[in-house]
Structures are given as C-alpha cells and as structure tokens.
Amino acid sequence: MATSLVLFDIDGTLTRSAGPHHRAALENAVLQVTGLPATTQGIPVHGMLDNVILTLMLRAAGLGEPEAKRLLPEVMDAAQELYQVGVPDLRDKLCPGVPTVLDELTSRGVVLALVTGNLTRIAWHKLSRAGVGHYFRFGAFGEMAPTRGELAKMAVAQARRENLIGPDARISLIGDAASDVQAAHDAGVQAIAVRTGIAPLEEILAAGPDVLLDDLTRLDLAIV
C-alpha cells in the first residue's frame, strides 16, 4: 500500500485554456436532447460540476425543475459522446510543471487520482488528449455527486476500499479554485491551491488553503 494519495482537479490545475470543446459539448448536448438552444454564458462555470452547469443551462432554456431533472442523465450522456469527436492535441495546454510532477510522484509510488467537475468520459478524453491520463488510477467525476466535497470523500473512500493506501497515508487535494480548497477541507485532507486558473487570489485565500503555490513547479514533493 502507498503512503500517499494525491487528488488532482483538471481545469486550471492540470490543463488551462482547454475548454472550448468542452463547453460546446455541453451546449450541443442540451440542443440535441431538448431541441432548445442553450449556452454557458452567464453561468459561473469555474469550479462548478458539469451536472450543476447542465442543470442551470436546462433551467435557463426554459425547462421546469422536474423536466430538467428527468432529462439531465440523457443530456450528460450526450455531452460525453459529443466530446469524443474533434478535440485537438492538448499537450500544449498543460499547466507549468505538470508532466514533471506527475512523473516524480509516480516514481515515488504515490497514488494519483482525480477529483473533477468534468463528466467521466470528458475528463478521461481531455487528459488522454493532453497526454497525461495514464498517470491516474481512478477518479470521482461530475455526475457522481452534487458537490465537489462529496467527490473528494468518494475518492478517498475508494482508495481505502481498494487498499491502495495505508491507514496513515498522507492525502492531498490539488486545485485552482476556492471550491477545490473547500472540498479538501470537507474531506479532511491537505488543501493545496495553485494559481494557474482564473480564480482571484482573494477568493483562494478566503477558502484557507494549507499551501498556496504559483504553479506546480513550486510544489515541494516532501509535503505530499
């Protein structure tokens, strides 16, 4: 069993400026399933789970809450299918330090996993196109829970259930948004924030990260 588990957010943490195809998949999924035009414009998507974003899009398109809830699973399936087509090579969208950190953590036997608002197949395809998907053992994804904190708890529980980590393992969550920091607090793990996303510094500081870094090139591997 490993002595450390590190959970990573994706957008703004591992990749940045990799979102146009993702947003298009969400918008086109709503149109495909409902026949109604929808947009992410006006929705504060940063740090938000895809299932929440899609729910807000469905409501903004004019659907009532019961109908939006009924159609959400079909829309999520459609979005994941649509995202599989046309996504370019994203290796140039990796945040600073990502390949080096993932290589070094893996060489040290650290278990790496994902805690992300991305839907499952969107997350894996995005990281595959960025060339780093193979580093991660498993993940907790946007359709699995209503909050990022619940996702973080799920990821920790899975690592323990599968005996990937020992009872005294050090566990960290690395993300770029206040919601990532709060998720780490909710799960009772170390909160490491990186300033490679779009979150204002004051928002990140207000969430109370245990560690704040400009980017992953500054990560002291001894703390994870």
Q: What is the DSSP annotation of 96-133?
A: TTHHHHHHHHHHTT-EEEEE-SS-HHHHHHHHHHTT-G
8: pLDDT strictly greater than 90: yes
Mean pLDDT on 56-80: 97
Q: What is the mean pLDDT of the chain?
A: 97
Q: Does domain 2-16+93-223 have CATH number 3.30.450.90?
A: no
Residue 183 pLDDT class (50, 70, 90 cuts): very high
Q: Does domain 20-83 have CATH number 1.10.150?
A: yes
Whose CA is closest to 216, among 201, 196, 191? Answer: 196
Distance CA 78, CA 76 (A): 5
With residue 213 as reference, give the H or E element that holds it.
strand 211-213
Answer whether 2-16+93-223 and 20-83 agree in fold: no
Mean pLDDT on 7-12: 98
Mean pLDDT on 8-35: 96
1: pLDDT strictly greater than 90: no
By residue count, the chain amounts to: 224
Residue 19 pLDDT class (50, 70, 90 cuts): confident
Place of tokens 């009924």: 70
CA 9 distance to own-chain centroid: 4
Mean pLDDT on 46-66: 95
CA 129 distance to own-chain centroid: 15
Question: Per-residue pLDDT tens for 87-118?
Answer: 999 999 999 999 999 999 999 999 999 999 99
Question: Per-residue pLDDT tens for 106-160?
Answer: 999 999 999 999 999 999 999 999 999 999 999 999 999 999 999 999 999 999 9
46: pLDDT strictly greater than 90: no
Distance CA 6, CA 194 (A): 14
Domain ranges of the chain: 2-16+93-223, 20-83
pTM of the full structure = 0.96
How far apart are the two ends of the chain, measured CA to CA in Å?
15
